[in-house]
Amino acid sequence: MDANLLVINCGSSSLKLAVFDSRHRKQASALAERLNSNDAFARISASEQPVQLPSGASHETALSTLINALKDQAIMANDPIAIGHRVVHGGETFREAALLNDESIAAIEDCASLAPLHNPVNLAGIAATRSLYPSVPQVAVFDTAFHQTLPARAFLYALPEAYYRDWAVRRYGFHGTSHFFMAQEAARRLGRTPATTSIISAHLGNGCSITAIRDGISVDTSMGLTPLEGLVMGTRSGDVDPGLFDFLADKGISAEEITEVLNTKSGLLGLSGQTNDMRSLCDLADHGHEPSALAIDIFCFRLAKYVGAMMASLTSLDALVFTGGIGENSARVRQQALSHLRLMGFQIDSELNEAHGAYSQGRVESSDSRFPVLVIPTDEELVIAREASRLATSSPV
């Protein structure tokens, strides 16, 4: 029986597990959703058999239920050799993945005020897994770590400097695991080494961010102190005028409500009044729903503006890379966004674009484009599995 690596991603109401073999090939994934609610459910990808979860199941219950199911179905018969956890915020403490022990866990707890919705639930998953597997090495891989190389000009807000000194108010950036994977994979596909490859990486899923990567290193990114800044997203506004807060407060809307609206009722959902889902939005637009067409237009225009902004951090560009559910699958979004960037020399080939990329490289640019444009499926779980295996074998617990 091959040794396995287990990857765990604890979200606010969901839990995702992935099992990799020791050669980093994915064996199975498992998912629990709507946790802590009456209709909590779970399933394992490689199996037809449903996994029963009690109503109102917590993350801890879902974790032990899914791990038992993986064992029963002989997908993970033995204890894993290492476990990797996705952790959203590593603050300025974590510049790379870290082996979990009492000290690193305390440091993750210290970062919780920067990500109050995410880090506590990530920590709950870590605690539950540690009690299930006390002697298996466990590793945290942070969404923020890849962006710790940002220069001060890119990470500081133009605010009183005491805010940064006393409260660590700065831009951190997120989706770092995905952008890191893009840097590695784009270089590989272009026949280059990551350390000499510069790309702009656009991760477009429910959350969206774009990163300038110079010689393999993140030098600017669109998300900031929180994952709210930057691009238009499924339900998040991205950039707005900070003066909006005072304006809305005057209308009697509380700070909590404003934050809630900007995070969960804005973006594609807010603009269209219908859905946060790009695929449904494209269908609606095709059937003449004008607010949906406008939502797509605004999404693409903001994206194009940010591609331009990322150019300020680069001296050369080897590729613009699209990833995430929208970036990988929506030819329309790629085409519409790049139509604003002809002046910069981006040209897309419609046939290649409709096919989501040609050749093994996933290229969609036309022959007269100044820069290659690539479509690359992201694989954050693979990065976490690799990091778990690397750190578990290189350091004592």
| Residues of this chain that bind ligand ADP (CB under 6 A) | 205-207, 234, 277-279, 282, 324-326, 329-330
- Please report how close the Cβ of residue 219 comes to ligand ADP at its closest, in angstroms: 23
Q: How many residues does the chain have?
A: 397
- Residue with Cβ nearer ligand ADP (148 or 336): 336
Using alpha carbons, select from 2, 31, 1, 5 the residue that is nearest to residue 19.
5
Q: Are 45 and 65 in contact (CB under 8 A)?
A: no
Return the active site residues: 143
Q: Find the residue with minimal CB distance to ligand ADP.
A: 325
Instruction: Decide the pairing of beta strands 15-21 and 41-44.
Output: unpaired
Quick one: DSSP state of residue 188?
H
Beta bridge partners of 15: 10, 32
Alpha-helix residue ranges (DSSP H) falling in the chain: 59-72, 102-110, 119-132, 152-155, 161-167, 176-189, 243-250, 255-264, 267-272, 278-286, 290-311, 324-329, 331-338, 350-354, 380-394
Alpha-carbon span 243 to 258, nearest angstrom: 12
- Structural element, H or E, at residue 29: strand 26-33
* CA end-to-end span of the chain: 24
Using alpha carbons, select from 272, 125, 85 the residue that is nearest to residue 280.
272
How many CB atoms are closer than 10 A to CB 188?
14
- Please report how close the Cβ of residue 300 comes to ligand ADP at its closest, in angstroms: 12
With 0-12 / 13-18 / 19 or more C-beta atoms within 10 angstroms meaning exposed / middle / buried, residue 290 is exposed
Alpha-carbon span 82 to 77, nearest angstrom: 14
Residue written as token pair 């539950």: 128
- Looking at the chain, the number of H-run helices and the number of E-run strands are 15, 12
